[in-house]
C-alpha cells in the first residue's frame, strides 16, 4: 500500500511538485497544522506579511513580475475576508494566484463557529474557481486542478478552502497529471482562414493601429518579442493600455504612448481616426473606449484574445481570433513571410500620410507640463526618476490615482513584467505590498513603488515586512496632501467642492521610515531632487522617499466623461503654446 500523508503534508508535496518557492501568508488557528509542516520543506520559503491584503498584493507582484503563480496562505474568517480585495484585484487584472485558506473543522461548518465564514460563498464572484475540500481523498486532485485553473487560459485567482480536520486527515498523494482539458475547455480556437483574413485586412489598410494590452504580458516574454517583430514587419503605429506597457519599447518611434482616459493625444486620435484597429490582448475597458457609440467609428476591428467572452462584450468586432497571443502572432508572422508580402516596403508609401497625421498630433506634446523651479512638479519627479533609473533593469509598482497615471505617462518601459499596477479594480494600497512581492522574485533588482501619500497609508504596515526580509524596496511618494485624482475630478466636475479629499493630518514620513527601521528621505526643492533620488537608489535597504510636490497639479491630457477619443482636454501647456515652444518646453 502507498504511503499515507496528512492534508498538511499533501499541500506542501503539491507545492513542491508545482515548483512553488515562496508563500505569502499569515498564520491563525485554522491553518496551524499547515504552518507546523512548513519546517519540513526547506525549498519553500514563507514570507510573513502584516495584513492578509498585503499577502494578496505581494503574491500579485510576485506573479506579475515572474510569470509564476503567486501563493497565499491565510486562516479562516478574517484572514480570508482580508484577502478578498487582493483576489478581486487579481481577477480583474488576470493575475494567477492560488490562495489556500483554513476553515473550521467540517463538523462545525454552518454553526457560526469561531472565525468561521462562508469562504467559498464570499470568494465565488472574485475567483476563477474555488473549492471547499470536504474529503481528504479529494485534496491532491483539487490542489493540482487549482494550479491548472489559475495558470491556464486567461489567468486568474483561485481559492482552496481546507477545514482543519482535513489538514490532519491522511490519504494517498499522487503527482499532477500532464495537461488535460478541463471539461472540454480549450484555449486556442482559431484557424488559418482567420489568419488569412487578418493579413488581408492589414494589406488593405491605410490608417492602421495596434492596440495592445495585458494579454501580451500574460502570454509570456516571448509574446512581447513576437509582437515587436510583427509591429516592425508592418510598420504600423502601436498604442498600449495601462496593463500592456512594456510589451513594446516605450521609447520606440512606432509607439504612440498609452491610450485611454489619460492617454496621449496622438494615441487617442489615432484610435478615433483609424481604418483598422488591431486589438491584441486588451478588453475594450471603459477607461479606454470613452463613449461607446463614437468609439473608433470608421474602422474595421480585429480582436485577438484568449478569453472568448471578451469578444463582442463591449465593442463589436469584424474579425475575432480566439487564442494565446504568442501562438496567434507567431502564425501571422509565419504566414506573412511565407507569402513573401514584403510589407515593410509596400506599406511604407500606403501609410505615409497616416504617419504624417500622427506626427502632427504628436507635435502637440500632450504630456508636456509647465515646470517650476520653486516647487517639484509631480510629472518632473517621475521624469527624473526615469532618467536616473533607466540605465538599470528597474521594476515599477504603483498605487492608484494621479501618481499612477503620471508614472504610466512619463516612465518608459522597455521590457514586459517590469510594470505592476492595479488597473481593473483600481486598488489604493496595491503598490507597496506588490513591491515586496516583486523584490522577493527579483532580489538583486531595483524595485520602486511610485506612490501617493493617501494610497500608501492604506498598506503602510508592509514596510515592516520589507525590513524583516531585508527587501530594499523604494517607496517613492508623490506627496501632494490630497487624494489627487479625487481632487481633480472635484475640480473639473463638482465645482471645486473638495469634499474630504484633503488629508489634514499626515504622518512625518521620514520619522515613520525611521520607526520602521528603514531610511527616510524628504525633498521639497527641485534643485535637490536628482541628488536625493540618487541617494535613494544607492541606499542598500528599504527607503521611504517623501517627495513634496505641487498640490494643485492636474493629470492631463484627459478624455472627459462621456466624450469620444477626439475630444480630449489638454494640459495648460498647450494653451500657452504660443509663449513657450520648442526647446523651451523642456526647460520650464
Partner 1 sequence: MVKSKSAYSLPTKKEKTDTHIIVVWVDNEAGVLARVVGLFSGRGYNIESLAVAEVDQKKNISRITIVTTGTPQVIDQIKLQLRKLVPVHNVADFKKEDKNVIFREMALFKIVTKKKQIKKCLNVCENFNPIILDKTKKSVVIQITALRREIDLMSIKLKPLGLVSISRTGAVAMTRGAEFFK
Binding region for partner 1 (CB under 8 A): 120-121, 124-125, 128-129, 132, 134, 149, 182-185, 261, 286, 289-293, 307-309, 311-313, 316, 489, 493-494, 560-562
CA neighbor of 164 nearest in space, from 125, 114, 126: 114
Give the nearer residue to partner 1 in terms of CB position, either 368 or 424: 424
The smaller minimum CB distance to partner 1, of residues 167 and 310, is found at 310
In DSSP notation, 387-406 reads HHHTTS-EEEEE-SSHHHHH
Closest to partner 1 by CB, 297 vs 562, is: 562
Minimal distance in Å, beta carbon 287 to partner 1?
A: 9
Q: Is 405 a catalytic residue?
A: no
Distance of closest approach, residue 153 Cβ to partner 1, in angstroms: 8
C-alpha R_g of the chain? 25
Q: Which of 12, 15, 18, 52 is catalytic?
A: 52
Candidate list 485, 536, 558, 568, residue with the active-site label: 485
Give the nearer residue to partner 1 in terms of CB position, either 4 or 493. Answer: 493
Residue 307 C-beta: closest distance to partner 1, Å: 7
Query: Are the C-beta atoms of residues 448 and 476 closer than 8 Å to each other?
Result: yes
Nearest Cα neighbor of 565 from 257, 259, 210, 243 is: 259
Element (H, E) at 432: helix 431-441
Contacts of 508 (CB under 8 A, 6+ apart): none
Spell out the residues 6+ positions from residue 31 whose beta carbon is closer than 8 angstroms to its own.
25, 73, 74, 75, 76, 79, 100, 101, 102, 164, 167
Nearest to 336 by CA among 497, 195, 166, 508: 195
Strand partners, 482: 502
Taking the CA atoms of 263, 264, 267 and 270 in sequence, report the sign of the dihedral they define: positive
Candidate list 21, 115, 350, 415, residue with the active-site label: 115
Nearer to partner 1, 299 or 464 (CB): 299
Q: What DSSP state is assigned to residue 137?
A: G
- Closer of 261 and 428 to partner 1 (Cβ): 261
- Which position among 9, 12, 92, 164 bears the catalytic label? 164
Nearer to partner 1 (CB atom), residue 240 or residue 490: 490
SS3 call for 550: coil
CB of 214 to partner 1, least distance (A): 17
174 is catalytic: no
Concerning whether 52 is annotated as a catalytic residue, the answer is yes
- We find the least distance from the C-beta atom of residue 50 to partner 1, in angstroms, to be 31
Residue 183 CB, shortest distance to partner 1, in Å, is: 5
Tell the smallest beta-carbon distance from residue 285 to partner 1 (Å). Answer: 11
Per DSSP, 547 falls in state: E
If the CB atoms of residues 319 and 510 are measured against partner 1, the closer one turns out to be 319
Which class for 495: exposed (0-12), middle (13-18), buried (19 or more C-beta within 10 A)? exposed
- Cell 520602521 identifies what position? 516
Residue 121 beta carbon to partner 1: minimum distance, rounded to whole angstroms: 7
Cell, residue 31: 491553518
Decide if 153 contacts 307 (C-beta within 8 A).
Answer: yes
Taking the least distance from each CB to partner 1, the nearer of 154 and 207 is 154
C-beta of 66: minimal distance to partner 1 in Å?
25
Angle between helices 529-538 and 378-389 (to 10 degrees): 50
Examine the residue annotation and report whether 1 is marked as an active-site residue of this protein. Answer: no
Active site residue 114: yes
DSSP three-state, residue 562: coil
d(CA 415, CA 473): 20
Q: Which three cell numbers stand for residue 410?
A: 512619463
Distance (Å) of CA 519 to CA 185, 442, 444, 492, 534: 50, 21, 18, 37, 14
Distance (Å, whole) CA 474 – CA 439: 10
Catalytically annotated residues: 52, 114-115, 164, 485
Amino acid at each position: 500500500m502507498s504511503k499515507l500523508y496528512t492534508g498538511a503534508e499533501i499541500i506542501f508535496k503539491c507545492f513542491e511538485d508545482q515548483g512553488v518557492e515562496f508563500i505569502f501568508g499569515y498564520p491563525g488557528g485554522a491553518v496551524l497544522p499547515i504552518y507546523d509542516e512548513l519546517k519540513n520543506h526547506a525549498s519553500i520559503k514563507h514570507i510573513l506579511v502584516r495584513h492578509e491584503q498585503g499577502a494578496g498584493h505581494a503574491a500579485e507582484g510576485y506573479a506579475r513580475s515572474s510569470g509564476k503563480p503567486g501563493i497565499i496562505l491565510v486562516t479562516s474568517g478574517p484572514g480570508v475576508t482580508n484577502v478578498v480585495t487582493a483576489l478581486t484585484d487579481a481577477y480583474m487584472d488576470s493575475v494567477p494566484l492560488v490562495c489556500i485558506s483554513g476553515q473550521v473543522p467540517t463538523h462545525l461548518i454552518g454553526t457560526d463557529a469561531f472565525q468561521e465564514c462562508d469562504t467559498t460563498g464570499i470568494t465565488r464572484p472574485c475567483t476563477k474557481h474555488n473549492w471547499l475540500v470536504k474529503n481528504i481523498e479529494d485534496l491532491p486532485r483539487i490542489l493540482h486542478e487549482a494550479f491548472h485553473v489559475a495558470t491556464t487560459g486567461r489567468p486568474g485567482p483561485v481559492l482552496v478552502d481546507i477545514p482543519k480536520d482535513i489538514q490532519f486527515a491522511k490519504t494517498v498523494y499522487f503527482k499532477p497529471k500532464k495537461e488535460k482539458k478541463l471539461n472540454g475547455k480549450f484555449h486556442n480556437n482559431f484557424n488559418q482562414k482567420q489568419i488569412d483574413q487578418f493579413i488581408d485586412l492589414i494589406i488593405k489598410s491605410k490608417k492602421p493601429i495596434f492596440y495592445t494590452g495585458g494579454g501580451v504580458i500574460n502570454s509570456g516574454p516571448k509574446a512581447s518579442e513576437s509582437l515587436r517583430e510583427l509591429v516592425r514587419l508592418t510598420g504600423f503605429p502601436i498604442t498600449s493600455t495601462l496593463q500592456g506597457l512594456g510589451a513594446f519599447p516605450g521609447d520606440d518611434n512606432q509607439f504612440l504612448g498609452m491610450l485611454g482616459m489619460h492617454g496621449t493625444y496622438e494615441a487617442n486620435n489615432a484610435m478615433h481616426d483609424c481604418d483598422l484597429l488591431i486589438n491584441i490582448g486588451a478588453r475594450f475597458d471603459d477607461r479606454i473606449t470613452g463613449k461607446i457609440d463614437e468609439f473608433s467609428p470608421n474602422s474595421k476591428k480585429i480582436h485577438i484574445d484568449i478569453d472568448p467572452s471578451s469578444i463582442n462584450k463591449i465593442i463589436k468586432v469584424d474579425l475575432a481570433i480566439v487564442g494565446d497571443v504568442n501562438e496567434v502572432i507567431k502564425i501571422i508572422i509565419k504566414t506573412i513571410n511565407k507569402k513573401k508580402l514584403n510589407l515593410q516596403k509596400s506599406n511604407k508609401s500606403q501609410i505615409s500620410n497616416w504617419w504624417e497625421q500622427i506626427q502632427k498630433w504628436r507635435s502637440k506634446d500632450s504630456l508636456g507640463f509647465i515646470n517650476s523651479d520653486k516647487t517639484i512638479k509631480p510629472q518632473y519627479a517621475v521624469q527624473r526618476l526615469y532618467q536616473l533609473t533607466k540605465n538599470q533593469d528597474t521594476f515599477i509598482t504603483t498605487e492608484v490615482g494621479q501618481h499612477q497615471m503620471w508614472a504610466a505617462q512619463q516612465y518608459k518601459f522597455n521590457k514586459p513584467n517590469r510594470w505592476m499596477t492595479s488597473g481593473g479594480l483600481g486598488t489604493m494600497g496595491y503598490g507597496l505590498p506588490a513591491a515586496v512581492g516583486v523584490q522577493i522574485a527579483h532580489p538583486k533588482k531595483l524595485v520602486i513603488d511610485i506612490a501617493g501619500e493617501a494610497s500608501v497609508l492604506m498598506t503602510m504596515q508592509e514596510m515592516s515586512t520589507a525590513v524583516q526580509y531585508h527587501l530594499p524596496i523604494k517607496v517613492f511618494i508623490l506627496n501632494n496632501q490630497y487624494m489627487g485624482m479625487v481632487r481633480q475630478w472635484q475640480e473639473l466636475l463638482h465645482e471645486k467642492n473638495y469634499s474630504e479629499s484633503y488629508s489634514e493630518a499626515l504622518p512625518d514620513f521620514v520619522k515613520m521610515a525611521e520607526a520602521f527601521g528603514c531610511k527616510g528621505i524628504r525633498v521639497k526643492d527641485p534643485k535637490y531632487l536628482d541628488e536625493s533620488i540618487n541617494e535613494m537608489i544607492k541606499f542598500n535597504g528599504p527607503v521611504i522617499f517623501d517627495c513634496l510636490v505641487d498640490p494643485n497639479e492636474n493629470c492631463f491630457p484627459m478624455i472627459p466623461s462621456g466624450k469620444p477619443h477626439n475630444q480630449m482636454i489638454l494640459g495648460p501647456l498647450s494653451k500657452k503654446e504660443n509663449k513657450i515652444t520648442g526647446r523651451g518646453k523642456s526647460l520650464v
